[in-house]
Amino acid sequence: MSKKFLIPIGPYHPLQEEPELFKLYCDGEIVRDIKWETGYNHRGIEKLSESKTYDQVFFLVERICGICSTSHPFAFANAVEEIAAVEITDRTKYIRSIIGELERIHSHLLWVGLAGHFLGYNTVFMWAWKYREPILDLFEMITGNRNSYAMFKVGGVRRDIENRMIEPVTKILDDFKKKNDLLTGAVMDDPVIHARTKGVGVLSRQDIIDYAAVGPTARASGVAIDVRRDDPYAAYPLVNWKVITAEEGDVFAKAEVRLLEMYESISIIEQCLQGLRKEKEGDIQVKVNEIPEGIGTGRAEAPRGEVFHCVFSDGSNSPLRHKIRAPSYSNIATFKKSCIGQTISDATISLAAVDPCYCCTERLAAVYDSGSGRKLYNARELIGLSADRTSELRNKNDLK
């Protein structure tokens, strides 16, 4: 007879980049029940938002997540523009969609890498993260930032993607496509990955409906919901693309959906770049005089699924109440269905399969002077270093 164990994963664990505690109640190797504790990182962003002006809230919600840092401003902009009845320009729509889709590519690549790491297949991890770098460089060229792009504002975007940028961006995307083919082939055809992920962490269609799961988690179980198609916003109704679904509901199906979605994202970006050529340069904002009293519900399809923002306005310059629902809030709860009955080693990849949100904004080379006489950098110099790197990237692509 096997013994019963409680296996804690977290609050701080090498598998998790953010603090949360999973308690796995195991009978021998088999997970019989699972409980989740969170709140270690609660920042009170909804409450903070009530004390910020609408312009400031964009910077706040951008910091909810380091990976999908554009999804929250996207949904917030949709919500506020709904209250103010603002119709944004086509050039703004294209730019917003380009940023949104580039983000989806880098986020999915990050997930594929982490999934490989969870399975003990670190080659996939190394590849995915290596191929993700050019996408982050693209962000830096376009927005000046690798993460937290600060592109959105009510009624427009803060920076234009000038027409002279279209060619270098297309070239980097073309190079990326070849690498993506390689990575997708390696993951989809690998017998070890098949063995570890097929039939593991299965979520049925009914589970998805019961837990109201969204995004690739839902689409991998045959529930074809995608806000970009269902409640169109930005440039998505102006370009051709399709919603990727799979029927199996296991970890492999979730990987398949994400890998194939990256091809759709590339196609959307290419069409949006072509769309930009037809629009007048610099036509990236409309004037918004005031935000009237009312309710605005905005959504955006983040890499992990539907982001939902509900803004209650009393006609002042800051929200009366700002409700935010990130996709992981709906998706993480499905572990009750996907992990129970699995072995511990499969439970970790089942947990990771919904892509619970990690934060990866750290990018700082700390330089210490430990009596060795090495140069120390102050904050201004570090910002200078970052700006130098951005201009270096732009110069490399003839964008002086």
Partner 1 sequence: MEADLILKKLKEKFAAVIIETEKRSEKRCTATIDPKAIVKVAEYLYKDEGLRFIIASGLHTRRGFEIHYHFSFDTSGLILNIHVILNNENPSIESLSNLFNASNWIEREIHEILGINFINHPNLEKLISEGNWAEGVYPYRKEFK
How near is the Cβ of 310 to partner 1 at its closest, in Å? 5
Restricted to residues 272-301, the positions that interact with partner 1 (CB under 8 A) are 294-295, 297, 299
- The answer to whether residue 329 forms part of the interface with partner 1 (CB under 8 A) is yes
Pick the binder of partner 1 from 65, 105, 225, 276 (CB under 8 A): 225
Interface with partner 1 by CB under 8 A: which range of 110-118, 307-315, 353-361, 364-372?
307-315
Cα separation, 222 vs 187, whole angstroms: 21
Dihedral, CA of residue 187, residue 189, residue 195 and residue 198, to nearest 10? 80
- In the complex with partner 1, the residue whose CB is nearer, 72 or 146, is 72
Restricted to residues 142-201, the positions that interact with partner 1 (CB under 8 A) are none
> Which residues make beta-bridge pairs with 25?
6, 33
- 106-145 residues labelled b (16+ CB within 10 A) or e (exposed): bbbbbbbbbbbbbbebeebbebbbebbeebbbbbbbbbbb
- In the complex with partner 1, the residue whose CB is nearer, 106 or 219, is 219
- In the complex with partner 1, the residue whose CB is nearer, 159 or 323, is 323
How near is the Cβ of 153 to partner 1 at its closest, in Å? 22
Pick the binder of partner 1 from 2, 14, 39, 287 (CB under 8 A): 39
How near is the Cβ of 294 to partner 1 at its closest, in Å? 7
- The answer to whether residue 310 forms part of the interface with partner 1 (CB under 8 A) is yes
Neighbours of 320 (CB within 10 A): 13
DSSP string, 197-226: HTTSS---HHHHHHHT--HHHHHTTT----
- The answer to whether residue 241 forms part of the interface with partner 1 (CB under 8 A) is no
- In the complex with partner 1, the residue whose CB is nearer, 127 or 236, is 236
> Which residues make beta-bridge pairs with 50?
none
The token duo for 37 is 């504790």
- In the complex with partner 1, the residue whose CB is nearer, 175 or 230, is 230
Neighbours of 16 (CB within 10 A): 18
- One-letter amino acid of 112: V
Diameter over CA atoms, the chain: 74
Pick the binder of partner 1 from 17, 137, 231, 248 (CB under 8 A): 231
201 Ramachandran zone, left/alpha/beta (phi>0; psi -120 to 50): left
Return residues touching partner 1 (CB under 8 A). Answer: 37-40, 42, 44, 46-47, 82, 209-212, 225, 227, 230-232, 294-295, 297, 299, 306, 308, 310, 312, 320-321, 323, 325, 329-330, 333, 336
